């Protein structure tokens, strides 16, 4: 699953963390997932990425027990050349009498950055040798001025 290539630019994805090992994640979900290294709130964790079409399978599985949130990545934005990223919290909050919802937070866009840039942040993702962060503006362009 090469989420940063043109072939997949119109696809949406979810990134989730779980304490389970890769083999168990694949067995529980019965679908294609790719292992990642993630860092959230300064703590490294095992993370996985899968197509957003699998959201309900992941959400209702036991994999997210105890997890705070899931990162949703949309299709590549043509102007930004990066994916919009939304953090969805998993604990429902009241929104009206007898109604709840899981809050979401727009984090900006999912940018490819250097390892040095990624490690400056308390949240990042590593896939192979590539590092990614979420930010409203392209950190690479910002550095170049």
Sign of the four-CA dihedral 135, 138, 139, 140: positive
- Sign of the dihedral through C-alpha 71, 75, 78, 81: positive
pLDDT score, position 139: 87
Tokens of 32: 């294609």
| pLDDT of 143 over the 70 cut | no
DSSP 29: H
Which of the two residues, 143 and 28, has the higher pLDDT score?
Answer: 28
What does the pLDDT look like over 34-73, one tens digit per residue? 999 999 999 999 999 999 999 999 999 999 999 999 999 9
Distance CA 58, CA 52 (A): 9
Q: Is the pTM of this model over 0.85?
A: yes
- pLDDT single digits (tens) 107-116: 999 999 999 9
Q: What is the pLDDT of residue 135?
A: 96
Report pLDDT digits (tens) over 74-115. Answer: 999 999 999 999 999 999 888 888 888 889 999 999 999 999
Residue 82 dihedral angles phi and psi, to the nearest 5°: -150, 165
Q: Tell me: pLDDT of 4 over 60.
A: no
Would you call 39 exposed, middle or buried from its count of C-beta atoms within 10 A (0-12, 13-18, 19+)? Answer: buried
| Spans of all domains in the chain | 6-135
Angstrom distance (rounded) from CA 43 to CA 39: 5
- The pLDDT, as a whole number, for residue 32 is 86
């Amino acid at each position: 699953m090469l989420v940063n290539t043109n072939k997949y630019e119109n696809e949406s994805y979810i990134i989730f963390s779980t304490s389970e090992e890769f083999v168990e994640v694949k067995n529980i979900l019965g679908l294609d997932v790719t292992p990642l290294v993630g860092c959230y709130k300064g703590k490294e964790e095992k993370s996985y990425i899968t197509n957003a079409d699998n959201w309900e399978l992941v959400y209702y599985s036991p994999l997210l027990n105890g997890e705070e949130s899931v990162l949703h990545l949309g299709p590549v934005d043509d102007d930004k050349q990066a994916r919009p990223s939304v953090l969805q919290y998993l604990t429902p909050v009241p929104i009206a009498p007898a109604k709840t919802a899981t809050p979401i937070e727009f984090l900006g866009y999912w940018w490819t950055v250097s390892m040095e840039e990624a490690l400056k942040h308390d949240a990042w993702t590593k896939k192979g040798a590539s590092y990614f962060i979420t930010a409203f503006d392209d950190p690479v362009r910002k550095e170049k001025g």
